[in-house]
Chain A
């Protein structure tokens, strides 16, 4: 490996790489944010929803979780168009990832809420709190602490899954890298470099999660 030559090519390719990195980060952020917001509602419906709603949402999560992300991405781009919802590759990709994220977050939220002992709700009721108050002050804060580690995991998964959008032509980091490789013929170097960038993003997410976990830990 000729380091000097690689650095020279890397410098020349800096703009497309940075652009790709930006797109990857935007996709991931959007998918994680939208997916999390939607996922919280999914989790609430799974835990507290009345029966027909709960069944409906259960069907949604099971279906999405049982489908490969790549299939979701392709379906979102090619199939939605046939029913009149013509999304660009970026929008379609983000939609697919957000939907995928929401089903995972939904399950995480449900698991966390159900793991809180019944006595917590009863104690809150006994004091005279209404259900919204119980949720806001007793169940929610406890569930959040449980959700965090699994949620960080899901966030990192979304960053990795964003590479699949290269298939439908979204110029994210992987596609940009492949374009550079096809011109410079330095596949090992540039794949390694892209891998390093992905690792850095996920490592940062993980460190951030750990930090929040430490900050919110309950003393005992």
Chain B
């Protein structure tokens, strides 16, 4: 069986600064992988390369066997067309640290936009899918509220529903609880946990070590643009092999 996600020798630089220095990673259907590491280690950048929110200069990323973003034409690496990249972006769903809901649309409308414009569903179909997912994240009654009328935790749950309603093969979570008040973190983590139990393939960049430990079947520790260590959460958190990881875990909230 081919891998759901396959990253080979990923290189990414901002000008002269190389932030990803050759990352390899594979992921199967149903995997829940947490990416941990100190800030600046490249974990968010790696996530953003997967849906081409960042360009990358070397290596390949494929989802379900489809190469993302670039193609070789006569031996030359070339960026795919904008249309093709937009289509490939819909293979993944993404939730952001700052939610990024569209402020001028209701919760339901936020979810319906992609369904109608990308998936070309009609309004009724889109609305019923939006309601289904709002129900799943516990916000059915908020369908016609605008983002400004919702709490941070509620906004993030709508944002997750917006991404997942598109039926992506892989969900990307980029520090989705970092901007939330502590008392709102749990409701969002709970939603993610349920999705994991449903068999959704997910890649999470997170600072919630306890959560990473509980929800993921694999953890990747990023260190200075490379994968420092990876393995199952039990081994990683209890018996870190590298000194860098041991140090990182000591300073993080895990314990």
User: Interface stretch among B86-94, B203-211, B214-222, B230-238?
Assistant: B86-94
Give the residue name and chain of the A residue nearest to B97 (CB).
A119
Q: Is the C-beta of B240 less than 8 angstroms from some C-beta in chain A?
A: no
Q: For the complex, what is the distance from the CA of A94 to the CA of B27, rounded to whole Å?
A: 64
CB of B125 to closest CB in A, whole Å:
16
Within 8 A of A (CB), among B69-114: 82-83, 86-87, 89-90, 92-94, 96, 98, 100-104, 113-114
Known: A119-B98, A137-B113. A126 touches B103 (CB 8 A): no
- Return the CB mask of A103-122 against B: 1 if under 8 Å, else 0: 00000000000000101101
How many residues of B are in contact with the other chain, CB < 8 A?
Answer: 30
Contact B104 A126 (CB under 8 A): no
Specify which chain B residues have a CB less than 8 angstroms from the CB of A137 in the assembled complex. Answer: 102, 113, 117
Contact B146 A128 (CB under 8 A): no
Contact A127 B118 (CB under 8 A): yes
Q: Is the C-beta of A38 less than 8 angstroms from some C-beta in chain B?
A: no
Contact A219 B86 (CB under 8 A): no
Query: Which of B87, B90, B98, B103 is A142 in contact with, Cβ under 8 Å?
Result: B103
Known: A122-B53, A220-B146, A220-B148. A127 touches B104 (CB 8 A): no
Query: Which of B83, B113, B148 is A127 in contact with, Cβ under 8 Å?
Result: B113
Contact B117 A219 (CB under 8 A): no
Q: Is the C-beta of A141 less than 8 angstroms from some C-beta in chain B?
A: yes
CB of A218 to closest CB in B, whole Å:
5
Q: Is the C-beta of B226 less than 8 angstroms from some C-beta in chain A?
A: no
Q: Is the C-beta of A125 less than 8 angstroms from some C-beta in chain B?
A: yes
CB of A138 to closest CB in B, whole Å:
6
Q: Is the C-beta of A203 less than 8 angstroms from some C-beta in chain B?
A: no
Contact B102 A122 (CB under 8 A): no
Contact A122 B100 (CB under 8 A): yes
Q: For the complex, what is the distance from the CA of A131 to the CA of B86, rounded to whole Å?
A: 9
Query: Which of A120, A128, A130, A131 is B102 in contact with, Cβ under 8 Å?
Result: A120
Q: Is the C-beta of B163 less than 8 angstroms from some C-beta in chain A?
A: yes
CB of A120 to closest CB in B, whole Å:
6
Query: Which of A119, A138, A219 is B96 in contact with, Cβ under 8 Å?
Result: A119
Specify which chain A residues have a CB less than 8 angstroms from the CB of B148 in the assembled complex. Answer: 218-220
Q: Is the C-beta of B166 less than 8 angstroms from some C-beta in chain A?
A: yes
Specify which chain A residues have a CB less than 8 angstroms from the CB of B113 in the assembled complex. Answer: 127, 129, 137-138
Contact A129 B86 (CB under 8 A): yes
Known: A218-B103, A220-B146. A127 touches B98 (CB 8 A): no
Contact B96 A220 (CB under 8 A): no
CB of B215 to closest CB in A, whole Å:
21
Offer 24 A-B interface pairs, CB within 8 angstroms, sorted by A: A117-B98, A119-B96, A120-B100, A120-B102, A123-B94, A123-B96, A123-B100, A124-B102, A125-B51, A125-B52, A125-B53, A126-B53, A126-B96, A127-B93, A127-B113, A127-B163, A128-B87, A128-B114, A128-B166, A129-B114, A129-B117, A218-B103, A219-B146, A220-B146
Instruction: Please give the residue numbers on chain B whose beta carbons come within 8 Å of chain A beta carbons, in ascending order.
Output: 51-53, 82-83, 86-87, 89-90, 92-94, 96, 98, 100-104, 113-114, 117-118, 146, 148-149, 159, 162-163, 166
Instruction: Please give the residue numbers on chain A whose beta carbons come within 8 Å of chain B beta carbons, in ascending order.
Output: 117, 119-120, 122-131, 133, 137-138, 141-142, 145, 218-220
